[in-house]
Amino acid sequence: MVAVRDVSVTIDRGSFFTLLGPSGSGKTTTLMMVAGFAHPTRGEVFVDGRAVAGLPPQKRELGMVFQSYAVFPHLTVFDNIAFPLQIRRVRRAEIRQRVGEALELVRLQGYDRRLPRQLSGGEQQRVALARALVFRPRVLLMDEPLGALDKKLRAHMQLELKHIQRHLHVTVIYVTHDQEEALTMSDRVAVMQRGHIEQVGTPAELYEAPSTRFVADFLGESNFVDGVVVGAPDPGRWLVRAAGGLEFRGVGAVPLQAGQPVTAAVRPEKLVPVDDAAGTAPIGAVNTCKGIVEEAIYLGDTTRYRVALGAGGAMTVKVPNRAGLRQHAEGESVALAWSPDETRIFPRSDA
């Protein structure tokens, strides 16, 4: 069985790079190959231009934070953080100084004498981070390090990690299945699925211009509409006809041709409800459709509508709650408008 195939990325020095994917997508295996705990049958890993695939983990000079923290339970916080320095035979005075700096970095001053079992999960996490950074590794690898923390602490640690990374200019390779985490922290993200990379890009690129249906689905939320390409009114633009006669334009993720079965994706917040009477915008500049509000859920910052399109299925619409914007009641008929630029069209293979 192949866990990972054809994974090839270049990661800029000093950047925060995330491998994002569902479980079993090969993201952890990829990280373990960088770390040296898994071995690629073919291929090479370069760190600072040096091939390291043949080196054992201890020779790679990479810091690693594990999902379970792996803070040594028999050593104090000080000895845990001093561990990589003692291995490198750093002088005692320098160890003292550098452990002190590392403790300050993760804001655990005064914790040096404590044992791991006297620390909370978040504190152990910081010890693991300090320990992985104290020997100034060339790259910091992190395997779902925040997975075990509660939601609030996790959000806090995400920002703190990001600040530390910026402060130290250290290159980070981060593994997570949490898309929000990936968007919050990363400079660039690789979305993985079934052992290969679906798309690499900045969080905005991935969200606004997903190159596959999987990315559009996994990252954030999308409405999917199946249809067939009927024409190309402008270069790069395609006209799609969906079931029920609904026609709309969109941007092709890959080159398409007329007659090809496709799936179009639109983010719920890109759909704008317009009053039926005003729904007369010139066709071509915007896509429009009509439907009936099936469900309206007030969520505080937004209201979510489920709009039935008759034979064309249904759309989820997310509207920010602002003064002057009318709430639509259930059963009311509405028109929806959205931009062709925000409509991504992917080839559909199952048809």
Q: How far apart are CB 51 and other proteins at their closest, in Å? A: 19
- The Cα–Cα gap between 261 and 350 comes to 9
Q: How far apart are CB 150 and other proteins at their closest, in Å? A: 21
Q: Closer to other proteins at the Cβ: 125 or 212?
A: 125
Q: How far apart are CB 70 and other proteins at their closest, in Å? A: 4
Q: Closer to other proteins at the Cβ: 117 or 322?
A: 117
- The Cα–Cα gap between 99 and 130 comes to 8
Q: Closer to other proteins at the Cβ: 67 or 302?
A: 67
- The Cα–Cα gap between 128 and 38 comes to 21
Q: How far apart are CB 295 and other proteins at their closest, in Å? A: 44
> What backbone phi and psi angles, to 5 degrees, belong to 262?
-140, 165
Q: In the chain, what are the helix, strand and coil shares in percent, each to the nearest 5? A: 30, 30, 40
Residue 176's DSSP bridge partners are: 20
Which H or E run includes 51? strand 50-51
- Which residues contribute to the site for other proteins (CB under 8 A)? 35-37, 56-58, 61-64, 66-68, 70, 72-74, 83-84, 87-88, 115, 117, 128, 131-132, 135, 141
Contact by Cβ (8 Å): 29, 4: yes
Q: How far apart are CB 64 and other proteins at their closest, in Å? A: 4
Checking DSSP bridges between strand 46-47 and strand 237-242, what pairing results, if any? unpaired
Q: Closer to other proteins at the Cβ: 32 or 293?
A: 32
**Other beta carbons within 10 Å of 49:** 5
Q: How far apart are CB 66 and other proteins at their closest, in Å? A: 5
Q: Closer to other proteins at the Cβ: 36 or 250?
A: 36
Q: Closer to other proteins at the Cβ: 70 or 251?
A: 70
- Residue whose structure tokens are 């993200």: 189
